[in-house]
A and B are shown apart, each in its own frame.
Chain A
Amino acid sequence: MSTGHRFVSTDRRVREDRRFVAGKGRFVADIDLPNTKHVALVTCPHPAARIKNIDKTTALKMPGVHYILDGAELAAATLPLMTGLDTPNVPRRPLAFEVARYSGEWVAAVIADTRAQAEDAAEEITVDYQPLAFVLDAEQALEKGSALVHEAHGSNVLLDKTFVWGEVDKDFAASPRRLSLRVKWGRSSTVPIETFGVVATWDPWREILDVYASIQMPRFSDQIGAALKIPNTCVRVHYDVDVGGSYGVKRGIKHTVLCGYLTRRLGFPVRLIEDRLENMRGGDAHGPERLFDVEVAFDDTGVVRSMKMRALENLGAYAGRSPFQLGKPVGAIVGPYKIRSVQYRAIAVVTNKTTQDAVRGFGQGPTNLALERCMDEVANVLGLDPLEVRRRNLIRHEEFPYLIPSGTTYDSGDYHTVIDKVLADTGYDWLKSERDRLRGQGKLAGIGMAACLEPSGGNATFEALLNPKITTSTFMDSCRINVDGAGAITATMHTTSSGQGHETLVGTVIGEVLQLDPDTVRVTRPDSLNSLPSGTPVGSRMAIMLGGAAFHAAQKLKAKLAAIGAHDLGIPVERAVYEHGNVHDRQSPSSGRSWADLVNIAHRNYHRMPEGFEPGLAVEHVYQVPTGGTLPTPDGRVHMYPCFSFEFHLLLLSIDPDLGRPEIVRYRLGHDCGTQINPKIVRGMTMGGIAHGIGAALFEEFAYNDEGQLIAQTFMDYLLPSSHEVPPIDIIDHETPSPYTVLGQKGSGESGYLGAPAALANAVNDAIRPLGISVNTLPIKMSALGDLIADAGSRGPE
């Protein structure tokens, strides 16, 4: 769709695909180091218990067993894992120390010749537990007299902060209408098919800890070094490990510290590949479980003036970065709407459930659910069309850049056009008539929509917002390009990837700038000791940040080549024209220097180089996130993410009233992420995001019973959408470039997931509204929906 690009936005193959279709990816479980030993975990069966004694006697005698590590030994030798909030009395460690705080928490680790032997021995370890009182529900955890998950902390509250942006009370008083809604985002996660795994090996001669891990985590090597009390220069994380899906959750820091400690202690490589049970129960990769109480103030035309939102997050037993998932949505707290003032209260409590980590969207998906349910309910209360209500509230194209009450400025957007395009494809009247037709057949049928933003770029100043001790305003990424003596181009990127096609991204951007075939650009991933800084793929940032770094590095290279050419041609640099790797004189086009000439001069003819130039053709760029660089004001206002993509979901849902089974009849998505560097990649990730959203809305839940046991701990009970559950989806693209990025690109890594659950929830509610019932808790399970419908039916029509 973008004009004027040679390679960007064209239909190029993703170079990473070649190795994956042959089964030649390099996943962590594929790495075989000689003499590697294997870890299996002993887990706590109780939701809370004091660990009185761990009897290893029998286990130590079993075949193949080398060592058994317990929490006490590990706690004495390492520091607790890094946390986001300032909560020194809520330490988090790889193995429970003195007290285990959720069912499934790791209590001891067995190291043996094979994984099977380690599991055999793990069964023979007897742990003497003293069960303690426990709490599972977030509201209960808030109450006085609740069981305390961390006694030393004094309460279960890790965060309770209220922000008031704008004249909330005045705006509420001035509004003729208000409504309140309670919305619950159930505990689910992105659950990649590959579990987390790590192989760690300590070289005492070079004093280097080599780490191979299925990782997606900022400051990974920092956290390893800090916990193990070794300098970062002794930690070498290998970024050329292929990660089998992450979508946020592959944070594995406790696994890595555990294995890092063990390899240093025992002198051989140590490998931990989570099995699925370890992953589901104790991998600490659960997602948000958030209860929203929202109140909106609006007028009779449906324009929402002000909003009060309380978000209560059930963190689980410990917290790393997860509480920050209450902070990121601040940067898009009003969604795509012109809400004038907001009061936002973010509360995070610990309970005796599995620990969470970052999940795709970092809290934006749940927040969008709350916002979009409100919009539909505003329309409902007024008897207005929900699409029309949204149109009246949406920020208009000409109003960008748009400053929202919490201090972020949205870069660009054309929301009304995106919606118009979707409706041009699928007429709204047609959709309504289809809904009526289905209703006429005895089905419940509903139209669902959601207009949502995808904040992208990863300016994570929400850290400073929620923890004033943090003063980070630097969010960077980098790229290095070297052209060697034969003219071959190699670029480096400094993080792992989990399917986003970053090598292709870098090659395409560099090829675009240098006007050379991207396939001639080799892209490699050095390890952490050979790397420049990278914020890693979080917050939909890589197209913007890695793309930006690669772009600027390539521009530097191009400028250097032009300068070398100009100098050798004896012309001012302004007259030098760079074209397809060659440089010629604008005034005399036949007079020029070829790529080979320029490489030769740079590498071998120093006497022909411009004064003061470094020999060779090596450049690098470390790129700061555009538009950032400030810290929050005293009243909690700050600019966060630079770019805002937009998605508009429109779907038709049919529900069999007897079975409660929803069926998506039609699904359309309007998507605007600015310039798409590789359309195949963007489309694929958006489709995947919608599939995740379908799962979160209708199927997936980490359900607990009253005894604190996770009852959805295998794939038989935690239901991942298969190809049958994801309908054909048409995506209608629009491109409103960002003015702040090198190619107008915005991020798109979380697209689809951020709005699909909201759209599905709205569709279900539209379908069941005629019965006088509503559903505001995800997931909307078939049986619960069926029972709700049946109860309404037996009560008779309202």
Chain B
Amino acid sequence: MHIKLIVNGIEHALDIEPRTTLLDCLRDNLDLKGAHAGCEHGVCGACTVLFDGVAVRSCLMFAPQAEGTPITTIEGVTPGPGELSPVQDAFCETHGMQCGYCTPAMILVAHALLADNPDPTREDIVDAISGNICRCTGYAQIVEAIALAAERMRGANRPSERQK
């Protein structure tokens, strides 16, 4: 069937079987490989994308269901070729990953969290990523990355005390 998906701000016309999940559609039809398949039954979270800014499991949605809602993938939060967002850079600073497979999902969850809550506690961060499984890091350096990103983003573009 013919559908139109809005991904990272661009509208795409696609012809897919209805049973194609949003995950498979992004990867196979749109060549956006950053969302990963880990379980295909909605537990591991490696397939996470932002659906109207909200973190969801793309393996639990059939592509036609996603019509009409803006979707953001990891490619959409990357500022440009070779450029990193503050969240991505923070993950590099703390080495909040190892194999990289769960990483795009973690970063998107971080983006969604920080958009909603710019000053999360450790418990807020732990809770936000609790739907994403990582087998490499034991989560410590991921939590530190998100806390660091939050701190840096809070400190960015703020008027100095002098100017207030």
Contacts and interface: CB of A to CB of B under 8 A. Distances in A.
Interface of A: 13-14, 16-25, 27, 29-30, 32, 116, 190-195, 242-247, 273, 275-276, 498-501, 680-681, 683-692, 714-716, 720-724, 726, 728-729, 752
B68 interface: no
A276 B40 contact: yes
Nearest to B34: A23
Contacts of B41: 276, 714-716
Nearest to B133: A720
Contacts of A276: 38-41
B100 A25 contact: yes
Given A192-B99, A715-B43, A499 B38 contact: no
A121 to B, nearest CB: 15
A688 B17 CA distance: 39
Nearest to B33: A30
A20 B97 contact: yes
Nearest to B139: A723
B95 interface: yes
Contacts of B74: 22-23
A20 B38 CA distance: 16
Given A681-B95, A688-B135, A27 B101 contact: yes
A692 B135 contact: yes
B72 to A, nearest CB: 12
B78 interface: yes
A500 B98 contact: yes
B77 to A, nearest CB: 9
Interface string B107-145: 100000000000000100011011111111111111100
22 contacts: A16-B100, A17-B95, A21-B84, A22-B88, A24-B33, A193-B44, A194-B36, A194-B38, A499-B98, A499-B100, A684-B137, A684-B141, A687-B141, A688-B138, A691-B139, A714-B41, A715-B41, A720-B135, A722-B131, A722-B132, A722-B133, A723-B143
Contacts of B136: 245, 499, 684-685, 688
B50 interface: no
* Best-buried of A190, A191, A723 by chain B (most CB within 10 Å): A723
B30 interface: no
B56 interface: no
Contacts of B58: none
A680 B97 CA distance: 10
Contact of B95 (A14, A242, A273): A14
Contacts of B34: 22-24
Smallest CB-CB A-B distances: 10 pairs: A23-B34, A20-B100, A499-B98, A244-B101, A499-B99, A687-B138, A691-B138, A23-B74, A715-B43, A21-B88
B97 A193 contact: no
A501 B31 CA distance: 26
Interface residues of B, number: 57
Given A17-B97, A245-B99, A23 B33 contact: yes
Contacts of B43: 714-716
A23, A116, A722 — which one has the most chain B CB atoms within 10 A of its CB? A23
Interface in B84-108: 84, 88-89, 91-95, 97-104, 107
Contacts of B98: 245, 498-501, 681, 684-685, 688
A688 B139 CA distance: 7
Contacts of B132: 722-723
Contacts of B95: 13-14, 17, 501, 680-681, 684
B75 interface: yes
A282 to B, nearest CB: 16
B133 A23 contact: no
B147 interface: no
Interface in B5-61: 17, 19-20, 27, 31-41, 43-44, 46
B124 to A, nearest CB: 11
A370 B17 CA distance: 53
Contact of A23 (B44, B75, B139): B75
A502 to B, nearest CB: 11
A191 B37 CA distance: 14
Nearest to A724: B130
A682 to B, nearest CB: 10
A13 B143 contact: no
Contacts of A721: 133
